[in-house]
């Protein structure tokens, strides 16, 4: 049995942040029903990146596994009534409409808790349900800029740079899943559901743990540092003979061990590098000195040598190397799924391993509406009623 077995989630989300949240819950065993508009479905099925064999994009397939797809037109009375009937037997509803849209559709928390007092409703929006920016449209790129990420990413003096992955969207989905699970635990004590509100703006702001302390503790606005660290040096990417290597000698013991392993016992005696604050103040000169030695040998040689000396170190891999790495395989971070159109699909594994109630990858992302009749039948619709809903465009 998986950790969330027995929980039913209605996933009324599109694109990335919301679907990722739903997939996290589904991976841990929840029955996640993806509620989509008939005909079009989640807009990312057709309008986000490339497709492979079928019509659905690879981006859609990546964040909607372990779900069932139900098509309902929530703008129709029949579609909304079916949704309400589903809510009566469900635990969680997640949506990522702009603030106010769920209320106009009649599926906001105030409406749904009248039907099911134990329901947990979760919203992921651009900026949250209140505040001066709440009505603005949002995007991962916009959120990264407004949350400060782009002011600290990239090389010093360079143009603004975004984090390479969609960190604002994905972290918002992660925080929302965390909030939902917290609400489920609270419901065990209180017997009541509640409303969960997060945003793709707040998620990256909440990750500024070092940057906020630099601002508040030193009165200094954080700037981009390339690969270097805000709190210790050397802790960065350094050039070797055939590429770059990440070296983290973040305390005095490791710093001296590094110098010994490199044969550079002269460096601790240099007043520029004597203490951590000195090294922080002279990071460029420190990198130049270390690279004078590192460029003499290949990355693989240095990784083996420095690991043997007890120093945290690693190569910088591209994704082709990451997903062919034996440790990635050993940790189960590449999985395969059978899809009725795409055939065998590769996907990311589950990064949280529970010893007694582990998650699992049970099915690939669903074809649009593939489970509509099955789900409607589960909640008491007859075959004639289901056919009528299809005819009238309600399902």
Task: Kindly list the catalytic residues.
Answer: 169
Q: Enumerate the β-bridge partners of residue 33.
A: 10, 68
What's the count of helices (H) and strands (E) in the chain, helices before strands?
Answer: 19, 11
Handedness of CA 210, 165, 15, 132 (dihedral sign): positive
Give the Cα separation of 53 and 343 in Å (integer): 9
Q: How far is CA 306 from CA 36, 148, 285, 294, 310, in A?
A: 52, 35, 21, 11, 6
Q: Name the CA dihedral angle for 67, 68, 71, 76, rounded to a multiple of 10 degrees.
A: -80
Could you count the other beta carbons within 10 Å of the beta carbon of residue 74? 16
SS3 89: coil
| Cα torsion through 323, 167, 206, 3, rounded to 10 | -50
- Nearest Cα to Cα of residue 168 among 145, 188, 152, 151: 145
By DSSP bridging, strand 334-339 and strand 343-348 are antiparallel
Q: What are phi and psi of 12, to 5 degrees?
A: -105, 55
DSSP 95-122: E-PPTTHHHHHT-SHHHHHHH-TT-EEE
CA 198/CA 136 separation, integer angstroms: 15
Q: What share of the chain is helix, strand, coil (3-state, %, to 5)?
A: 40, 15, 45
Contacts of 104 (CB under 8 A, 6+ apart): none
CA atoms within 13 A on the CB side of 231: 10
The dihedrals phi and psi of 360, each to the nearest 5 degrees, come to -160, 155
Six-digit token pair at 375? 């789900």
């Amino acid at each position: 049995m998986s950790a969330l077995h027995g929980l039913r989630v209605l996933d009324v989300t599109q694109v990335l942040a919301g679907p990722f949240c739903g997939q996290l819950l589904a991976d841990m065993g929840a029955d996640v029903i993806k509620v989509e508009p008939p005909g079009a479905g989640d807009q990312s099925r057709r309008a986000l990146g490339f497709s492979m064999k079928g019509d659905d994009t690879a981006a859609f397939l990546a964040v909607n596994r372990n779900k069932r797809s139900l098509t309902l037109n929530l703008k129709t009375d029949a579609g909304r009534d079916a949704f309400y009937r589903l809510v009566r037997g469900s635990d969680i509803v997640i949506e990522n409409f702009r603030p106010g849209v769920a209320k106009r559709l009649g599926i906001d928390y105030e409406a749904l808790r009248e039907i099911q007092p134990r329901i947990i409703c979760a919203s992921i929006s651009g900026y949250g349900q209140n505040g001066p920016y709440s009505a603005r449209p949002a995007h991962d790129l916009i959120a990264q800029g407004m949350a400060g990420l782009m002011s600290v990413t990239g090389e010093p003096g360079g143009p603004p740079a975004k984090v390479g992955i969609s960190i604002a969207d994905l972290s918002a989905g992660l925080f929302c899943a965390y909030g939902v699970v917290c609400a489920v635990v609270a419901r065990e004590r209180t017997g009541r559901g509640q409303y969960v509100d997060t945003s793709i703006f707040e998620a990256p702001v909440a990750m500024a743990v070092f940057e906020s302390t630099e601002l508040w503790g030193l009165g200094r606005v954080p700037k981009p540092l390339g690969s270097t660290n805000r709190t210790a040096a050397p802790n960065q990417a350094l050039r070797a003979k055939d590429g770059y290597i990440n070296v983290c000698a973040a305390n005095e013991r490791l710093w001296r061990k590094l110098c010994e392993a490199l044969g550079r016992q002269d460096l601790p005696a240099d007043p520029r590098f004597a203490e951590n604050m000195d090294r922080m103040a002279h990071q460029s000169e420190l990198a130049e000195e270390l690279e004078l030695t590192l460029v003499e040998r290949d990355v693989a040689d240095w990784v083996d040598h420095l690991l043997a000396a007890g120093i945290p170190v690693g190569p910088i891999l591209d994704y082709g190397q990451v997903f062919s790495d034996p440790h990635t395989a050993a940790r189960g971070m590449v999985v395969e799924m059978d899809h009725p159109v795409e055939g065998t699909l590769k996907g990311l594994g589950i990064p949280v391993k529970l010893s007694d109630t582990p998650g699992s990858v049970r099915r690939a992302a669903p074809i649009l509406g593939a489970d509509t009749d099955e789900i409607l039948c589960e909640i008491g619709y007859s075959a004639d009623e289901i056919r009528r809903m299809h005819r009238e465009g309600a399902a």
